[in-house]
Amino acid sequence: MLFFITVVVLLSSVQANLYSDCGSKLATLEKVQLSGCAETAKECVFKRNSNFTLSLDFTPSKDVKVIEAELHGVIMNMVAPFPLPQPDGCKNNGLTCPLKAGQKASYVMTLPILKSYPKVRAVAKWELKNEDHENLICILIPLKIK
């Protein structure tokens, strides 16, 4: 009985993450923080005319000279690029490049949720890529703009 309870608790904690990994290949993702989003929520709810901050703690498995951030919105299986105010992950996002293999790094990006954005449900696909355009980190975040 104790084994069964332990398995249920572990499975529910694994499923409780708001985000999912979509191909983090060259780094180990250690922590994801989403401002204003409960870790146990099914989706992150953003109010228009506000800001959203994403924080990623990760450890690269190899040295990285350049980091490029990419954000895409996925709505009804259609993928659309979303322009970031600073796509260079090495500038004004908490990282100092080059990154060394095995050393923990923290990436932080704040985005405005403009009043002009439509009220919509979508999935945000956030990627950090190295100089060879390989994924360091890739996460999917279900969201709703209201």
pLDDT at 16 over 60: no
3-state SS class at 60: strand
124 vs 127: CA distance, rounded Å? 10
What amino acid is encoded at 56 in this protein?
L
Whole-model pTM: value is 0.83
Beta carbons within 10 angstroms of residue 18's beta carbon: 19
> Which strand (E) or helix (H) includes residue 13?
helix 2-15
pLDDT tens column, 113-137: 999 999 999 999 999 999 999 999 9
136 vs 24: CA distance, rounded Å? 5
Domain 2-145 is found in CATH 2.60.40.770? yes
Name the one residue in this structure whose structure tokens are 């994801």.
32
pLDDT tens column, 54-109: 999 999 999 999 999 999 999 988 999 998 999 999 999 999 999 999 999 999 99
